[in-house]
Amino acid sequence: MSITNEPVKVLDKGFVRLVDFMGGDQGVVDAARVSYGGVSKGPEADKKLIAYLLKHSHMTPFEHSVFKFHVSAPIFVARQWFRHRFAAYNEVSFRYTEVKDYFYMPTTWRGQDKKNKQGSSAAATLDQDALHKAFKAQVDGALQTYKTMIEMGVAREMARMILPVNLYTEFYWTVNARSLMNFVVLRADGHAQWEIQQYGEAMAKAFKALMPWTYEAFLRDGWKGENAAIAAERAALPVLENAAK
């Protein structure tokens, strides 16, 4: 993934797009070696240093590599996302912009998990057609009421109150590599809501493309979650010699 890359589609209408990037694997190495006045010792030594840092939880050097993303996600996903506080956010305001027909419409409804009170289960038998129909009617009705209120002269900041949380919002997210790893650990994990898992996986792919050495070290010693794709990547890693400075 390069800085000029096109948006990567997530869910039905969402996306993530890399806007800017600074530091990379080399930025981590440089930040770590400045502690004792050292310089790069070549790719192999630098890669081993990154592995050593992550394995032994020396995390501040990873804060010197920074990503800026443009994200489009449903409001209910964004509200979970914004709980990751060690980052900078700027979000579109529906006080200033008029809402368009831009809603997340799930393809499958999940039932409540019988063991995990905050989770869902695909095993439940649900009337999918009836649920899709009822949900679409509710969304269409809310959007039409919003449009009617705008036509009647109601301020956008008040008319927006009628809108459901499956409305897509957009925001810029600037985050360092340390915080991005935390996001992936929590949001690509199988215990997270399925919708935000898709964004967690998209961020993992961007992380891998831009910081491959750090991503490999992350798979070895930073990733603790449950995700089939990431688990397969981890299992495929070559045996690593003892990481050292």
The pLDDT of residue 244: 47
Q: Which domain holds residue 110?
A: 105-162
The whole-model pTM stands at 0.92
Please check whether residues 43 and 109 belong to one and the same domain.
Answer: no
Please check whether residues 124 and 230 belong to one and the same domain.
Answer: no
Please check whether residues 32 and 144 belong to one and the same domain.
Answer: no
Please check whether residues 85 and 12 belong to one and the same domain.
Answer: yes
Please check whether residues 226 and 187 belong to one and the same domain.
Answer: yes
Residue 89 near residue 163, CB atoms below 8 Å: no
The pLDDT of residue 110: 94
Residue 47 near residue 215, CB atoms below 8 Å: no
> Is residue 2 included in any domain, yes or no?
no
For residue 22, CA distances in Å to 8, 148, 237 come to 20, 46, 26
> Is residue 244 included in any domain, yes or no?
no
Please check whether residues 70 and 51 belong to one and the same domain.
Answer: yes
Number of domains composing the chain = 2
DSSP output for 187-207: HSSTTS-HHHHHHHHHHHHHH
> Is residue 231 included in any domain, yes or no?
yes
Distance CA 126, CA 103 (A): 22
Residue 183 near residue 84, CB atoms below 8 Å: yes
Please check whether residues 33 and 127 belong to one and the same domain.
Answer: no
The reply to whether 79 belongs to the active site is: no
Distance CA 154, CA 184 (A): 41
> Is residue 97 included in any domain, yes or no?
no
Q: What is the mean pLDDT of each run of 10 residues along the chain (245 residues)?
A: 77 98 96 82 93 97 98 99 97 93 96 78 85 98 98 97 98 99 98 97 97 98 94 89 51
Please check whether residues 28 and 143 belong to one and the same domain.
Answer: no
> Is residue 95 included in any domain, yes or no?
no
Please check whether residues 86 and 27 belong to one and the same domain.
Answer: yes
Measuring CA to CA, which residue among 67, 75, 83 is closest to residue 187? Answer: 83
The pLDDT of residue 5: 77
> Is residue 242 included in any domain, yes or no?
no
Beta bridge partners of residue 89, listed in sequence order: 173
In the set 160, 187, 220, 234, the catalytic residue is 187
Backbone angles phi, psi at 19, to 5 degrees: -100, -45
Please check whether residues 52 and 153 belong to one and the same domain.
Answer: no
